[in-house]
Amino acid sequence: MKNLIIYGVCSEVLYLSFLFIEPLTDKIFADNLNFRDALKFFLVLSILLFLIAFYIKSLTNLGSSKKIFRYIVGFGLLFNLTLFFIKPITSTDLYMYLSHSRIYSKYHQNPYVTPYSHFPDDNLYQTLDNIFADKTAFYGPLFVLLGSVFTFAAGDSLLLNIYLLKGFFVILNILSIFLISKLFKDNRTTLLYAWNPMILFELSLNAHNEVVLIFLLLISLYLLLTRRSIKSYLASWIFLVLSFLIKFSTALLTPFYLIYTTNKIKKRLDKMKFVGLALTSAIFLLTITYLPFWQGPKIFSTSLRIVSNYSPFVSLGITAFLKLFSFFGISDNNELAILVSRLVFVIIYFLVLIRFFKLALAKRGINDQQFVFFLVIIFSIFFATFFNWLMPWYFTSLIALICVYAGLVRNYRRKVFASSVFIYLITIYAAMNYFGLR
């Protein structure tokens, strides 16, 4: 326990050090960096790597006492509260969220059609102006609606706009810690999430909306894994639908949820009732959240451009195909590499789904551990093959899912070790992705 406290204190000192680093939000995609800014990037990355080292060390020889649990949660709360007061260092996304929300809450315009650059006279324009100011909204409608509540309440106060939304994100991340601790009552699993440097840096410091998706997904999994009734299954499904109305990635999990829940329901009539209610609720939620913004398919124009345009920050699968095509002398291969890599994802996705369906039909069915394992597999393949714009903070949702899986297999040392190592590797890879940005 003494070592845990030492690692916790050292981590807190490192998180506090971010207070003294000037934000690099306007330098993220700069063509050239001066020596001073390059040094700041190196310093940020070095701090992250030290935090990851303390994180890994803190997980060794971890006891199971309630006192240790209190220290884990206590430091987790402290880290989050510390990072709440620090402005985003390596991302402009918080300003993008606020600008899109102000279009709707203040100017009563449609952010899916009208970009923030159309409002240069806005009182906060000079601060909220970012590389996405000339682009329309591309996240789910529920997130725009949520953000609009905070921008309406904050009015023209810059600090209130920043810290109301950032505070909301920090609260959700803290609640996610308690959800995981309540779900597993296991010190290791709680620490895997609560102390993860990328979770803390990207969700509580840089304030990315992945935290909303993760929170809703964790509620969904909590209801699904701890309660055994049609009502709880339906509530779990609703929270899953809400999560992909924030960001669309969790829509990939919907067929697995439907197969798993219908497999758990014994009576055929109850199965049909559940499927009917699930589909009806999904259509209802999609309708009421998109209705304020609906102006035809053009509201998806920015989303479609983003997923189709090539960028230097791509998934490993796309990079592999780029190298392969270059080796064989195929020129202008960026779009082809994206297409082939995504085709690989689609093929693997349906093969995994078929395998999952077959297991569900078997006599033994699918248990909780297998279910979450398949979700981890799908997300892992998704991140490895699909993204033509892959940012470090995207990995936080995958890390959260692996934490849930680790909690389910805590009685199997090899699987716990493997899942922990997987989290370490993804955390390090996500942090090192900042080299790619530079």
pLDDT at 416: 63
Whole-prediction pTM value? 0.94
pLDDT at 164: 96
Work out whether the CA dihedral 403, 404, 407, 409 comes out positive or negative.
negative
Q: Each residue of 360-379: pLDDT tens digit?
A: 988 788 999 999 999 999 99
Residue 59, CB-side half-sphere exposure with 13 Å CA sphere: 24
Give the whole-angstrom CA distance, residue 93 versus residue 281.
30
* pLDDT > 70? residue 113: yes
Q: Each residue of 281-300: pLDDT tens digit?
A: 999 999 999 999 999 999 99
Q: Each residue of 67-82: pLDDT tens digit?
A: 999 999 999 999 999 9
Q: Which residue type does 405 have?
A: Y
Q: Which residue type does 72 have?
A: I
Reported confidence tier of residue 233, pLDDT bands at 50, 70, 90: very high
> Which has the closest alpha carbon to 188: 69, 54, 52, 12?
69
Q: Each residue of 26-41: pLDDT tens digit?
A: 555 555 556 567 778 7
Percent over 90 (pLDDT), the chain: 70
Average pLDDT, integer, range 248-271: 94
pLDDT at 360: 92
* pLDDT > 90? residue 51: yes
Give the whole-angstrom CA distance, residue 421 versus residue 404.
14
Q: Are 72 and 196 in contact (CB under 8 A)?
A: no
Residue 105: in which H helix or E strand, if any? helix 93-105
Structure tokens at 259: 């197969």
pLDDT at 25: 57
Give the whole-angstrom CA distance, residue 437 versus residue 246.
25
Write b or e for each residue in 90-101: b if 16 or more Cβ atoms lie within 10 A of its Cβ, otherwise e.
bbbbbbbbbbbb
